[in-house]
């Protein structure tokens, strides 16, 4: 999670059973890259924490060999930008809070910010809504049928907040034991990354290195009578954020942070490491390119 670099893994559609290689494309010493999203133009957005301050870094798709990243600073009220999700084309919602290694998150400090790239190259994050009862927000995902509704993981409370970014309404969208944190393992060890796909909410639990899913309504709540399904247990000490792909592919690619590996979990639930490289040590999030030339690049 705290590795100050960005790496790429070159993938092929049939590569899930063989080792993949990684190459370094950018490095910014002293910067904690936490999460990743890809703009429609192919630029890479990276949420950051701590020194030199929370913010959003942007790496141009045309400058992948450059360490120069455009900065979009976050308000000084938070020290960490965590989850990021696209709600409408080129508009992204960011989950933010005050985070420390000892306590995890600070209750009352969390908030959602939005950044809109449709009106110029240098937008700044703007407050959408405060999350006064949240402790440690983490991954975020917009609901496909209602993209203004965003689900936000709370790694310490063990739940997914449901936030209507239009009305500012905040409630608990999904709370099940499989999202819970391990109180004996320190802070931020419950639900981590989350995605919505195929009518299900998918999430990783860091404490158990497990990928789960549950049926979701189009409004962003757990479906009536829905039961949690355990998709895969990884042979890793932690499971961080993940992504599906390439394209509409049903393989889940899971970062394992300090384990320094990337796992591929197929539709049958089998998960195996496909990247084992020092360059991905501390990797906390993954994303596929959105352009024709990088659609199979992780």
User: Average pLDDT, stretch 78-100?
Assistant: 94
139: domain CATH number is: 2.120.10.30
Residue 123 domain boundaries: 5-12+20-294
Count other C-beta atoms under 10 Å from residue 290's C-beta. 17
Angstrom CA distances, 240 to 150, 167, 272, stand at 19, 30, 15
Q: Residue 129 has what pLDDT?
A: 98
Residue 77 clears pLDDT 60, i.e. is over it: yes
Q: Residue 6 has what pLDDT?
A: 62
Residue 128 clears pLDDT 80, i.e. is over it: yes
User: Average pLDDT, stretch 224-240?
Assistant: 96
Contact 199, 176 (CB under 8 A): no
Q: Residue 29 has what pLDDT?
A: 75
pLDDT digits (tens, 9 = 90+) for 252-276: 999 999 888 999 999 889 888 988 8
Q: Residue 201 has what pLDDT?
A: 99
Residue 216 clears pLDDT 90, i.e. is over it: yes
Angstrom CA distances, 110 to 28, 90, 94, 183, 240, stand at 26, 23, 11, 21, 20
Phi first, then psi: give them for residue 63, nearest 5 degrees: -130, 45
Number of folded domains that form the chain: 1
Select the more confidently predicted residue: 55 or 223: 223
């Amino acid at each position: 999670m705290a590795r100050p670099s960005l790496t790429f893994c070159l993938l092929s559609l049939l590569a899930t059973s063989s080792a993949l290689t990684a190459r370094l494309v950018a490095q910014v010493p002293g910067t904690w890259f936490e999460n990743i999203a890809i703009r429609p133009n192919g630029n890479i957005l990276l949420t950051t924490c701590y020194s030199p301050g929370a913010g959003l870094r942007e790496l141009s798709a045309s400058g992948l060999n450059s360490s120069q990243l455009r900065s979009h600073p976050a308000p000084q009220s938070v020290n960490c930008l965590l989850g990021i999700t696209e709600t409408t084309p080129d508009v992204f919602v960011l989950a933010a809070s005050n985070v420390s290694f000892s306590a995890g998150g600070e209750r009352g400090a969390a908030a959602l910010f939005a950044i809109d790239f449709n009106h110029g190259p240098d937008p700044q994050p703007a407050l959408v809504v405060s999350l006064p009862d949240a402790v440690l927000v983490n991954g975020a995902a917009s609901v496909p049928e209602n993209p203004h509704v965003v689900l936000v993981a709370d790694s310490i409370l063990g739940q997914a907040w449901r936030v209507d970014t239009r009305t500012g309404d905040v409630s608990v969208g999904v709370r099940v034991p499989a999202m819970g944190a391990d109180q004996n393992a320190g802070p931020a060890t419950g639900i981590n990354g989350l995605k919505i796909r195929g009518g299900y909410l998918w999430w990783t639990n860091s404490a158990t290195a497990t990928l789960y899913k549950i049926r979701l309504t189009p409004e962003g709540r757990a479906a009536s009578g829905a039961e949690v399904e355990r998709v895969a247990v990884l042979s890793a000490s932690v499971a961080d954020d993940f992504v599906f792909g390439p394209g509409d592919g049903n393989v889940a690619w899971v970062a394992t942070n300090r384990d320094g590996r990337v796992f591929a979990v197929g539709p049958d639930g089998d998960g195996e490491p496909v990247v084992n490289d020092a360059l991905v040590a501390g990797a906390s999030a993954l994303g596929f390119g959105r352009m024709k030339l990088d659609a199979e690049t992780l």
